[in-house]
Each structure stands twice: as structure tokens, then as C-alpha cells.
Chain A
Amino acid sequence: MKKIDVFVCVCAECMLSGAMDLICGIESLKKVPKASPFTVKIIPTTPLDCHDHSACAPVIKVEDEVMENATTQNVMAKILAHTDNM
């Protein structure tokens, strides 16, 4: 099974900006048929891409790509786009 690593920053700014809801959104991908052949490994981390997150939280990294001001919808879309390339 192919694996996608997703790093989610859980610093105070990112937690306040919905990091846990992002994690729930990523976990919900298990139920999407397109993503089911892949293992999406969620790695909570802090700090991610070390700098002040007050203007860019939540911060997330899908494989090597850092996403700032991430939303559940654009993170899910990014992960699904990765599955196309694998």
C-alpha cells in the first residue's frame, strides 16, 4: 500500500486555527474510494516550518509541500491530487 505523509502543525496558533478539524478532515478521506488504496499517515508536529504562525495558521505539509492558511477542503484536494501522481 502506498503511503502519503501529512505533517500537521499543532502549535497554539494552528490549534486555534483548526488544526484538529484538519486532522479529522484528513482522516475522513479513508471513506473516499479514490484515497482508500493509500495510507495517509498524519504526523502531528510542532513547530512546522519554523516561523511565526500568527498570520499563516494552520500550517501543514503534504509530502514536501508546505501549505499555509490551510483549509480542510484544499488539504483534502491536495492529498487526492497526490494520489493521482502515485
Chain B
Amino acid sequence: MRGVYTPVTKIRRKVFSEVARFAYEEKDFSEIDKIPYRIIPGEIARYRDSVFKERAIVGERIRLAMGLPVRSADRHAPLREGIEECATPETYYTPPLVNVIPFACEACPETAFYVTDNCRGCLAHPCTAVCPVQAVSIIDGKSAIDKDKCVRCGRCREACPYNAIVHFSRPCAKACGVDAIESDEMGRAKINYDKCVSCGMCLVNCPFAAIADKSQIYQLIRSMKEGAHVIAEIAPAFVGQLGPLAEPENIKPLLKELGFYDVYEVAAGADIGAVEEAKHFLENVPDKQPFLATSCCPSWASMAKKLFPDIAHCVSEGRTPMVVTAHLIKEKHPDAKVVFIGPCAAKKLEAMRKSVRSEVDFVITFEELMGMMAAKGITLGEDTEKEPFTDATAAGRGYPVSGGVAEAIIGAAKTINPGITIPTERADSLSECRKMLTLARAGKRNGYLLEGMACPGGCIGGAGTVLPTQKAATAIKKYKEQSEKKNATENPLLRQKDCADS
């Protein structure tokens, strides 16, 4: 479903632009009640059985976008309940970040195998012969599966010569690489937050728009409107996200027009992080630890710590590019507020950690940024100025594409220790990351550098992106090629940092 613009995408993005508009126009709080009517106009339901239900669901999405908690259908309360508390220029929301709106969930059945009309009731009917629990039989000339007996091994599906047996799974659960989607007593999706790592894949894969994450766009806009110097640090996945005409050198002027005091490239922090991790690898692997796993993806690092605690010490403790860059900004501008703009839902949670909270004040996604731009009517024009980024190398700029982090670290390691060969493996999507760590735990990846990314394709496949993944990869490749400096060790900020350290 990703990469296709659907009514689910439309509703999600409309909510962002309407909440941003609400913040910019500083309307009376009661005006929030009108937003669902603008997003779902008219009297006829288009997406569900009732227009009232459609608006109620949009209402909960608006509340989440304001940073407010989701409510169940048995709460009689106006949409604006709690809005006074969240109308602040500071970070407001609290975990959980990703939420199921219970009454929006269609309670899709959990994993099952179904016989479709393709079944010809063939003479061979191998589906019955391969079933280990005698769950498949022929009834009225067609194959039938006894759901109570079925153990969901899938052998019947593999054996059918007509592809008549299909595997059905909940899209949210299928997208979740840590098996965090469970069911409530009504069969609706429920997130197990002990397992969830907030990657956001469930929210972009639910075809009923029943899952959404909390946002900080309202509080961020309030902060800018109240005169704070808000400095944007933009993740390296930004290339192409604001449209095919928005070249990297247009981004700074566009964001400044939106109200940001200044704009920094997180790829600079990625360069510094790559060199730190290269040094860590050279000093510690394999003598002090069997392998090194990268740290920049918070969902992957969190998953490794939750599911593989015995090897969690092998995940780098290095600061992520977001934190490194924010630290650089705060050193220069101690009174400024820093907002990370990126493709990632999980960064919102990372920014709430005690150690990060003082560096990063807000986190928004590219989708939310586009909502702000649409609300303010800012768009790229012929007169948009150009102000290129100059702080990062091609290595740091390649971080958001799967394989890019390992490439940057190895490039740095080879500069420090020429001639060294570092075996690497990479995985994108949490299910692949789990497989990779299972092998590592078994001792099959000793001496390796392991790169893990929770989102398919890397950060460019993140839940908050606007651009299809393949197009984003192409745009980043072009930007890397245009970069004057190639290796992370060439970043001039490193020399400044070394001088400061000594």
C-alpha cells in the first residue's frame, strides 16, 4: 500500500495541515470542533458506514496531532477536552507515541488461510494430503479448512496447483517486525507497548486509518509565534521530500520563510557519528566485543535491547546524528530551540529520553512539515533563493539509504587504518534485523559491522516521508555525487571538535 496515495494518506495529511493552520491563525479553541467538518464535508459517508463516525475518527486523529491522548468511544467529551493544557510552546505529549483509535479499527481477523473461488475441487486435491492436522477436507466438491484444527503452516497453500488458498494477515501486524500488535476483547488491534519500538510501520500500513502517532506541530508553531529562535536540523533524507523542484540549496530559504531562525544539515552529525563509530570499532572489535551494531536508528537499537539483551552491549552507544547536530547547534545558540525534521516516527520518542531532552526540543516529520508549508501557503517559486548546505560530506548524506551508514563508517575506518577489511551485513525492516541479530547471537557474525534500519529501504522508507522510496534513493545518490567532500573524516567540524577536545 505504501507508495500509493490513498484516502488514508489524504486524511492523515489533511489533519496535519489543518492543525498547523489552527496554530498559525491562533483561533479560539472552540474552533477546533469545526476541523472534522472541513476534512469530512457533506452529509454522505465516503469511507465508512456513517459520516458521524468518519468525523469522530478524524477528531481523534486531530487530538493526537495536537499531542493529546486518544479516547475510546465510551467517553462523552468534546473534541477540545484538554486543549488548554496542550496549547503550550513546549513539548507536550507523553508516551505512548503510536496509538490505535479503537473505534476506527475494523477488527481484521488474525492470521488465517482461506479457500477462494479459484478452487476447482480437483481430483488430486493435494491440499488435503499435505495437511499435518487433517484440517483440510473436501466439502460439496470444494476444499474447506477447519479453522479450529488449522495450525497455519501454509502447506495447503503451497500444494494447491490453482493458487486457490490464500494467506490472510492483518496489515498492521504483518508490518510490525516485533510482534507488538495484539487484540483486545473485541478483536481490535491493540499495541503491546512492552514490545513496540515506535517505528510507525503499523500506522502507514493500516488500510482503515485506525492508527496514528502524536505530533508536536501545534506546540512548535506556538513556540515560533511566541518569538523563540527555533533552529531546524533537517535529516539527510530531506532530499526531494519537498518536491522535485526543491533542490537542496532551496531548503534553507524555504524553511527560513516558514519561520525557522536557521537550518542545519543533520548529515554533519552523521559524519561525526560515523567517525566515532569507526574508532569504536577499530578499538573494540573483536577483542572487547564480538561485533558492532550501528546506533542511528532508534527503533532498531531499541528492538536489539528489548529482544536481545545478552548482546545489547554490542549496539553502539555513540550519539545519533540528530543528537550530535543538536549539540553543535546548542553550543552556538544556547538560547535557541532545536527541532529535528526527519522521516521518522521513532525519533519523537528518542527526543524524549532524559539524555536527549535538553538537546532536541521538538521532532516533526517531513509530512508534518509539508502540512505546515501548505497551511502557511509557502511553496517553491522562481524567486526562491539558494543557500547551499556546506557542513557535510557525501558519507553523512548517504546515511538514510540502507547500506549508507555502514559505508560511511567503513570509509572512515579505512582512512584511519588503511588496508583494514571490515565484514558487514545490513538489514532493513525489523523482521530482517531480528534474523541478523539471531545469527549474531549464535556467533555467526563475529568481527562484523552490522547496520540495522527499521524501515524498508532505510530512513527514506520512514513513516513520515512524502516521496516514494525509490525516488528518494535516486535523489540522495545524486546529492552525494555533488558533494565536494566524500569521506566523513574530511568534515571540517571534526577538526574543530578535536581542537575543542584537546
Hey, which bits of chain A sit against chain B, CB under 8 A?
Answer: 10-13, 15-24, 44-47, 52, 54, 71-72
Contact of A11 among B9, B379, B468 (CB under 8 A): B379
Cα of A52 to Cα of B10 in the assembled complex, Å: 18
Identify which of A17, A24, A47, A72 contacts B471 (C-beta below 8 A). Answer: A24
Residues A19 and B4 in contact, CB atoms below 8 Å apart:
no
**Chain A nearest Cβ from B259, distance in angstroms:** 14
CA distance A55 to B242 in the complex (A): 20
Q: Are A46 and B374 in contact (CB under 8 A)?
A: no
A18 touches B378 (CB 8 A): no
- Which residues of the other chain, A, contact B16 by a CB distance below 8 angstroms? 16
- Give the Cβ gap from A42 to chain B, nearest Cβ, in Å: 9
Chain A residue, CB-CB nearest to B369: A12
Pairwise interchain contact A46-B379, C-beta atoms closer than 8 A: yes
16 contacts between A and B (CB under 8 A): A10-B245, A12-B370, A12-B378, A15-B370, A15-B466, A16-B370, A17-B13, A18-B5, A20-B244, A20-B466, A20-B468, A21-B3, A44-B243, A45-B245, A46-B379, A47-B381
CB distance from B358 to the nearest CB of A (A): 32
Residue of B nearest to A18 (CB): B5
Q: Which residues of B contact A15 (CB under 8 A)?
A: 242-243, 370, 374, 466
Given contacts A10-B244, A17-B13, contact A46 B380 (CB under 8 A): yes
Closest chain A residue, CB of each to CB of B13: A16
B373 at the interface (CB under 8 A from A): yes
Add 17 more A-B contacts to A13-B374, A24-B3, A47-B381 (CB < 8 A): A11-B243, A12-B242, A12-B379, A13-B379, A16-B13, A16-B17, A16-B370, A17-B10, A17-B13, A18-B9, A19-B243, A21-B5, A44-B243, A44-B245, A46-B245, A47-B379, A71-B5
In B1-30, the 8 Å CB interface with A consists of 3-5, 9-10, 13, 16-17
On chain A, the residues within 8 Å of B17 by CB distance are 13, 16
Cβ contact of A18, chosen from B10, B245, B379, B381, cutoff 8 A: B10
**Given contacts A12-B374, A21-B5, A46 and B381 within 8 Å (CB-CB):** yes
Cβ A16 vs Cβ B371 within 8 A? yes
Q: In the assembly, what is the distance between CA of A62 and CA of B243, in Å? A: 19
Query: Chain B 363-378, CB within 8 Å of chain A: the 1/0 string?
Result: 0000100110110011
Give every chain A residue within 8 A of B13 (Cβ-Cβ).
16-17
In the assembled complex, the CB of A41 is this many whole angstroms from the nearest CB of chain B, namely 14
Residue of A nearest to B468 (CB): A24
Q: List B residues at the A interface (Cβ < 8 Å).
A: 3-5, 9-10, 13, 16-17, 242-245, 367, 370-371, 373-374, 377-381, 466-468, 471
Residues of B within 8 A of A46 (CB): 243, 245, 379-381
A16: contacting residue among B244, B374, B468, CB under 8 A:
B374
A83 to B98, CA, bound (A): 46
User: Which B residues are in CB contact (< 8 Å) with A18?
Assistant: 5, 9-10
CB B3 to nearest CB in A, in angstroms, measures: 7
CB distance from A59 to the nearest CB of B (A): 12
- Closest 8 CB pairs between A and B? A18-B5, A21-B5, A12-B373, A10-B243, A11-B379, A12-B374, A44-B244, A12-B379
Query: Which residues of A are found within 8 Å of B471, using beta-carbon distances?
Result: 20, 24
Contacting residues, chain A, for B466 (C-beta < 8 A): 15-16, 20
Note all chain A residues with C-beta closer than 8 A to B9: 18, 21
Question: In the complex, A46 Cα to B378 Cα: how many Å?
Answer: 11
Per the bound structure, the CA–CA distance linking A54 and B41 in Å amounts to 14
Shortest Cβ distance from residue A62 to the other chain B in the assembled complex, whole angstroms: 18
Is B5 touching A72 in the complex (CB atoms < 8 A)? yes
Q: Give bound CA distance, A46 to B471, whole Å.
A: 19
**What is the CA–CA distance of A47 and B81 in the complex, to the nearest angstrom?**
39
Q: How far is the CA of A20 from the CA of B240 in the complex (A)?
A: 10
A65 to chain B, nearest CB (A): 21
CA distance A21 to B371 in the complex (A): 17
Q: How far is the CA of A72 from the CA of B370 in the complex (A)?
A: 20
Contacts of A54 in B (CB 8 A): 374
A22→B4 CA distance, assembly (Å): 9
Residue of B whose beta carbon sits closest to that of A72: B5
Q: How far is the CB of A45 from chain B (nearest CB, A)?
A: 8
List residues of chain B with CB within 8 A of the CB of A10.
243-245, 380
The smallest C-beta distance from A19 to any residue of chain B, in angstroms, reads 7
Question: Which of A16, A19, A21, A52: most chain B Cβ within 10 A?
Answer: A16
**Residues of B contacting A52 in the complex (Cβ-Cβ under 8 angstroms):** 377
CA separation between A14 and B374, bound complex, in Å?
Answer: 9
Cα A54 to Cα B244 in complex, Å, equals 20
Q: Which residues of A contact B242 (CB under 8 A)?
A: 12, 15
CB distance from A9 to the nearest CB of B (A): 9
Shortest distance between the CB of B478 and any CB in chain A (Å): 15
Residues of A near B378 (CB, < 8 A) are: 12
Q: Which chain A positions have C-beta within 8 A of B377?
A: 12, 52
User: What residues of B have a CB within 8 angstroms of the CB of A24 in the complex?
Assistant: 3, 468, 471
